[in-house]
Structure 1
């Protein structure tokens, strides 16, 4: 694509919605409502000669499993298990298991997909996972939250060392993070919204709600702790039903930040997204004997930038529009934006993907 195509509708949408309101659930989550991972180590059997071979670690694990099943191996004169009896076993492999518990948690009896990864086997294709205990995400926690077993399906034939057991984990007990602590909720901003400005906006928006007041003076219930967290006190009217309060709270409308000063460039796709409030300093851009003057007097051949602007500070979106009018190629537009940033004439954040 020779000519650079900028989706002006996107820019205009950004300009018109820069101060629109969004739901609280669009910018943050309640702490305790996040995914968690269960893990375990197990044995896969039924392989076609692609297992761990004579790995003593695998043989010890197999011997232990056999012992639990009532099939104890013999001992040598020193009382040690005779692992040599398992030499030549090629169809067994030791694997690492992971299960992702959804953000809402899991109840006893729930079935969840299980990911299986071989430690040293060449392939676990066609293998069957023997009954394996799964523990919580905290190392050292011996609580058994789930049991995994079942036939393994390979996700990618190029990587036969990993696979999935569909609904292979059965939860043995409830696994759910508590979202209420000492009568309070903690809101955690999403990564791309974690700013002091945003947490301040969340605090103000929640405290403006008339139903979210406490005490005789009608104090607000929200308090921004930093650029990531906002603490919210559960009002007395919702004390017996915190889940309902969480639902109502996350529907609260929040004003967007007053500025959008981010520029995103995808060089592979030759695409640019320009925030509505990205300003640029006075510069002159020369391209193939054509001059675009931004700020100051107009010179030579030019395309007017920001003709209807109410401010003397020109916007990058207007400059890009002018470059498009002159049919400047995409790669040249991208280079011009980079040079503006290098010259410190672009007043915003530049992200290159």
Structure 2
């Protein structure tokens, strides 16, 4: 089988200067990070959904035991002894309108107070469908499995959001907290920790954020009579722990108003916050997303009916003869698209370049 086409792609584009890249990286700190302590908390528990139209689970020991316990707590035990014995199992064996479910509720990063109501998700552990069901009061515990304290109670009508998944439903405002869930963001010794988002966690970004915070608050960390040099401020008050965490000491002037400090801090404009170059390929949709100017090395290979050469081989003219820098991946992808190369083939070409060590970026395959 011979090649239907022999195509040379000599892709050369100019590099972006360091100053230009720095300016393009401007963003609010809040857009790329959060504060440690300001995390979502998931509450979990087990409950019963009743009122099902024959779509529950009959003759299931776990479901019958839970139903027996609920009836006992409501003053109507199945048997005179109140125990889950053979008589209780026999009495509940044919019940088909009950299903055992897992109930979860997510407390927002800002926390919630006792009495607040939030949505909860109900997922069936057995049965066929939760449609039309009613959740009997379910007690939810906190994320720490070693703590048996009850944080919330849930009940209400189950709404099926996706008809193709009748085993999962939502109860809007069906979870009421019984105790406060707080999310403190200042440590006992007066530090806050900035946590970079996973997509921005990078040693370069961490260092850039620390540098600019130290510069911006240089005069706030200590009174003017105790003026420090920038290097001392960095060492004593702003500490990048790793690629994702930066610890910042709350200045004395803000100790009684840490909210004002954090509000001001997270609103700061950060420059040079671009993480490492990345290429994200979605094999299901065939899409390719490239962050920044991703370079590729000189490489020549054959794929399907194409012969691809990103160098400047003799006998072929480059697509951009006036440019002399390294070729860029976006130019290659654009050229392949113009040649109507399928998205899956484009992704395979990128993977081949990466395997050869010629892709100067982190490749992420979804």
TM superposition score normalised by structure 2: 0.80
Cα distance change, pair 144–240 in 1 and its aligned pair in 2 (3 A): same
1:106 shift after superposition = 1.3
The higher-RCO structure (CA 8 Å, 6+ apart) is 2
- Alignment partner for residue 154 of structure 2, among 148, 152, 156? 148
Between 223-232 and 202-211, report the one with greater CA deviation.
Answer: 202-211
Tell me the equivalent position of 1:256. 272
Please state how far the C-alpha of 1:136 moved relative to its aligned partner.
Answer: 0.8
Instruction: Using the TM superposition, give the Cα deviation of residue 198 of structure 1 relative to its aligned residue in structure 2, in angstroms.
Output: 1.6
> 1-side partners of 2:283 and 2:84: how far apart?
66
Contact 1:305 1:318 in 2 (8 A): no
2:247 to 222, 228, 231: 231
- The count of aligned residue pairs is 336
Tell me the CA shift for residue 37 of structure 1.
0.7
Question: Which secondary structure does the structure 2 equivalent of 1:43 belong to?
Answer: strand
Match of 2:141 in 1: 135
The 1:314/1:22 distance shift into structure 2, 3 A limit, reads same
- Name the CA shift for 1:64/1:257 in 2 (closer, same or farther; >3 Å): closer
Partner of 1:346: 359
Q: CA deviation at 1:321?
A: 5.7
| Mapping for residues 29-40 of structure 1, pairs under 5 Å | 29-40=34-45
Q: CA deviation at 1:230?
A: 1.1
CA distance in 1, matches of 2:336, 2:155: 61
- The offset of 1:314, in angstroms, is 3.9
Give per-residue Cα distances to partners, 1:184-207, cap 9 Å, x unaligned. 111111111122222111111111
When structure 1 is superposed on structure 2, of 51-60 and 133-142 the one drifting more is: 51-60
* CA–CA distance in structure 2, aligned partners of residues 152 and 289 of structure 1: 56
SS of the equivalent of 1:347 reads coil
Distance 1:198 1:97 in 2: 39
Aligned partners of 1:289 and 1:153: how far apart in 2? 53
- Aligned pair partner of 2:27 in 8, 19, 22: 22
CA contact 1:76–1:82 (8 Å) conserved in 2: no
Q: Deviations over 1:319-350 (max 9, x none)?
A: 5566677x463556555444433332332223
Secondary structure at the residue paired with 2:199? helix
Q: CA deviation at 1:28?
A: 1.2
Q: Secondary structure at the match of 2:65?
A: helix
Cα distance between partner residues in 2 of 1:176 and 1:31: 13
1:64 to 46, 65, 69: 69
Mark the CA change 1:318 to 1:259 in structure 2 (over 3 Å): closer, same or farther: farther
**Counterparts in 2 of 1:60-139, with a 5 A limit?**
60-75=65-80, 82-83=87-88, 84-139=90-145
Please say if residues 206 and 212 of structure 1, whose CA atoms lie closer than 8 Å, have aligned partners that are also in contact.
Answer: no
Contiguous gaps of at least 5 residues in structure 2? 1-14
Quote the offset at 1:236 in angstroms.
0.8
- Give, in angstroms, the shift of residue 243 of structure 1: 1.4
Q: Which runs of 5+ in 1 are unaligned?
A: 1-10
Q: How has the CA–CA distance of structure 1 residues 257 and 160 changed in structure 2, closer, same or farther, with 3 Å as cutoff? A: closer
* Structure 1 residue 129, shift from structure 2 partner: 1.0
In 1, are the aligned partners of 2:79 and 2:87 still within 8 Å (CA)? yes
